[in-house]
Amino acid sequence: MGAFYLWYNLYVITLKYIAFMKVTKTKIGGLLVIEPDIFGDERGFFVETYNKERYQENGIDVEFVQDNLSKSSKGVLRGLHFQKKPYAQGKLVQVIKGSVLDVAVDIRHGSETFGEWVSVKLTEKNKKQFWIPAGFAHGFVSLEDNTIFSYKCTNVYNKESEGAIKWDDAHLDIDWQLNQYGIVEPIVSEKDQKNIAFCDIDKDFVYEKK
């Protein structure tokens, strides 16, 4: 009996500290929202932000080759960006500090959801991640000062392969929820102000039904 209780207690302790994650499909195939387990107490917290085997089991079977961090003031809007082949990127994104509204737009010609978008609020508290495979344009607006944003990318940055769509494109009609967060006018870089209209993008990505 003593051996059984010892085994049982070790099992419970081990189970308690195994990191699990909840993966939620969005209305657009391929876009996933990931909610990792957070282990916290009065000392702080622990969270597993990436485990190759676990992510492969949930359909994210890729190799990440570049990690990036950006820091943004409240109201800064970056996007909508993508890279063309052969430097197309998948991105696993999350917020380290602060919060953003993150947006992904389907730019795969022939897709049933071509031109549709999904938005997710990512914060340092909820620690959610957003998986955005190649074939999507990506952008976010910072909802707090000193927001630090993290990207894991499946390809390296290549300037000649850059593509970008206007953040306020009328065809896309993205709800950036600016008024909800007290942002009167987003802060957009001079470069992003020159982004092209959605209707003018080339067929860099063509949907392939699996």
Q: Give start and end residues of each alpha helix (H) in the chain.
A: 2-16, 52-57
What does DSSP assign to residue 206? B
**Which of 50, 81, 109, 181 is an active site residue?**
81
Angle among Cα 79, 84, 86 to the nearest 5 degrees reads 145
Written as six digits, the tokens of 25 are 């499909």
| 151 assigned to active site | yes
Burial of 167 (0-12, 13-18, 19+ CB in 10 A): buried
Which among 32, 37, 60, 150 is positioned nearest to 100, based on CA atoms?
A: 150
| 157 assigned to active site | no
Q: Name residue 78's beta-bridge partners.
A: 140
- For 161-183, what is the HEC assignment? HEEEECCCCCCCCCCCCCHHHCC
**Which of 50, 87, 109, 151 is an active site residue?**
151
Active site residues: 81, 151
